Amino acid sequence: MASVSIILMTPGMLESQSRLRQDAFGPVIAYVEDVHDRFHRLPSDVEFDTWKATGGRENQALFLYTGGVLDPDECPFGVVPDDSYAIVAWRGEYYDCYADWIARYSFDDTRYKALIALQTCLLAALLSSILASYAARQVYRTTTSVLCPPRH
């Protein structure tokens, strides 16, 4: 017998993802913006690593890019403009990126909502197929029992 595994993204998971993103990116964005406001520049690599270490984030896979071309596997927004930054966080299965010059995340809530909508459509199609198969079996059984009654 074949089995089907379905992993569904629920609205609760969407809220959880938003909280995780805020926990991961919120303090980093606040730190970078604070340095920029006070010193009119972005933090250096050493300053960022020191901040991570003193903030208990030294083991988190957080990366600050203040220039250059971004790896499209990590962050799909191309080149970091002057006086801008991108923050990349490794989520264990994928990268999530925040680009400050467009104030966007690489895997934003819109994608999650689209994924939920797609899953809903696929689930509806699967249920429809199961119900149609069940109905066809019932028609077959009824027809067979009427046309070919059992012999006793």
pLDDT digits (tens, 9 = 90+) for 74-125: 888 999 998 999 999 887 778 889 999 999 888 765 555 566 667 677 777 7
Residue 22 has pLDDT above 70, yes or no: yes
Predicted local confidence at residue 125, as pLDDT: 78
3-state helix, strand, coil in the chain (%, to 5): 50, 15, 35
More confident residue, 80 or 137: 80
- Residues 103, 33, single domain; the answer is yes
Number of domains in the chain: 2
pLDDT of residue 130 exceeding 70, the answer is yes
Q: Where would I find the beta strands (DSSP E) of 79-152?
A: 79-80, 86-90, 95-99, 104-105
Q: Which residues pair with 104 in a beta bridge?
A: 99
What pLDDT does residue 35 have?
A: 96
Assess whether pLDDT exceeds 70 at residue 134.
yes
pLDDT at 150: 67
The DSSP bridge pattern shows strands 79-80 and 86-90 to be unpaired
Shared domain for 81 and 28, answered yes or no, is: yes
Sign of CA dihedral 67, 101, 90, 119: negative
Rounded CA-CA distance 54/56 in Å is 6
Say if residue 37 is in the same domain as residue 86: yes
Structural domain containing residue 41: 11-107
Asked if 70 and 93 sit in the same domain, the reply is yes
Task: Write down the residue that tokens 């923050």 correspond to.
Answer: 87
Q: Are 87 and 64 in contact (CB under 8 A)?
A: yes
Tokens for 52, please give them: 């991570």
Nearest to 128 by CA among 139, 120, 116: 120
92 and 53 in one domain? yes
* Confidence band of 58 (pLDDT split at 50, 70, 90): confident
Residue 61 has which token pair? 């896979």
Q: What is the reported pLDDT for 115?
A: 63
In the predicted model, what is the mean pLDDT of residues 141-151? 67
Tell me the C-alpha distance between 46 and 34, whole Å: 16
pTM score, two decimals? 0.62
Name the percent of the chain lying above pLDDT 70.
73
